[in-house]
Amino acid sequence: MDPTQKASTIRRLKSVEGHLRGIIRMTEEDAYCIDLIQQIRAVQAALDKVAEQTLSNHLQHCVVSAVRGDDVAERERVLGEIVAVFQASSRQR
């Protein structure tokens, strides 16, 4: 992962961490359930964005390198990983 992408990912994850702490605090303070759900959805959206950016980085760098390379086994392994990620993603939705 290039340094700019890495910094962006870490920044987003730290933001998610802060949101999670807020949700914990809200739960401890018996906050209104709908407010909790809205905050949980915000965390899920932020994590989805991190996953999207990480996958994009992986496709642009790791997968492209494997596809362009001469190692057929490595190419098949990397493509198999991508298929597995999409299969897992479709099961979650």
Reported as a pLDDT band with limits 50, 70 and 90, residue 76 is confident
Q: How far apart are CA 76 and CA 83, in angstroms?
A: 10
CB atoms within 10 A of CB 37: 11
The tally of domains found in the chain comes to 1
DSSP the chain: --HHHHHHHHHHHHHHHHHHHHHHHHHHTT--HHHHHHHHHHHHHHHHHHHHHHHHHHIIIIIHHHHHSS-HHHHHHHHHHHHHHHHHHHHH-
* Res 93 pLDDT > 70: no
d(CA 14, CA 44): 14
Read off the pTM: 0.78
- Dump pLDDT digits (tens) for 27-68: 999 999 999 999 999 999 999 999 999 988 888 888 888 888
Q: Which domain holds residue 44?
A: 3-92
- For tokens 């490595």, what's the residue? 74
CATH number for the domain spanning 51: value is 1.20.58.1000
